[in-house]
């Protein structure tokens, strides 16, 4: 993340080196939720790897699959909550426009709207505020 200059956009980075297990072991996802101080069902893994999506779901996390070229869902896992071709499609499904058609602006840590950041290719740690 540091090499890609993305580390400043994240609140926290977790690694499988700490729990000494590898994904898709469900204990890794449960550990990560615990480190963030939330229940697994309050988390959503967003990934382009079907095996990673499956592991997260088996641990009780919500999941979104970004269908990048050459990647597919794991056939023995449930269908994830969100399936889309890119991050912009993901945000549109996660934060749909209200029925009246009025767009709800989502501001990110840098003060820009979410769509602008995604168009610039930035990856963000998003937290829905309720």
pLDDT digits (tens, 9 = 90+) for 68-114: 888 889 988 899 999 999 888 888 888 877 776 665 555 555 555 65
pLDDT at 69: 87
- The per-residue pLDDT of the chain, averaged, comes to 79
Note if the pTM is more than 0.95. Answer: no
Domains of the chain: 7-119 (3.40.50.1000)
DSSP string, 58-90: HTT-EEEEE--TT----TTSPPPSEEESSHHHH
Answer whether residue 7 shows pLDDT above 80: no
In this prediction, residue 128 has a pLDDT band, given cuts at 50, 70 and 90, of very low
pLDDT at 116: 61
Q: In angstroms, rounded to a whole number, what is the distance separating the alpha carbons of residues 113 and 58?
A: 33
In this prediction, residue 2 has a pLDDT band, given cuts at 50, 70 and 90, of confident
């Amino acid at each position: 993340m540091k090499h890609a200059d993305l580390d400043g956009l994240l609140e926290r980075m977790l690694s499988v080196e700490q729990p000494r297990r590898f994904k898709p072991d469900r204990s890794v996802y449960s550990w990560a939720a615990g480190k963030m101080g939330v229940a697994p069902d309050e988390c959503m893994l967003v990934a382009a790897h079907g095996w990673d999506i499956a592991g997260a779901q088996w641990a009780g996390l919500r999941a979104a699959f970004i269908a990048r070229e050459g990647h597919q869902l794991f056939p023995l896992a449930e269908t994830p909550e969100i399936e889309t071709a890119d991050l912009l499609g993901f945000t549109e499904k996660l934060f749909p426009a209200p029925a009246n058609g009025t767009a709800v602006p989502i501001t990110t840590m840098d003060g820009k709207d979410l769509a602008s950041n995604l168009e610039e290719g930035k990856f963000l740690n998003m937290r829905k505020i309720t």
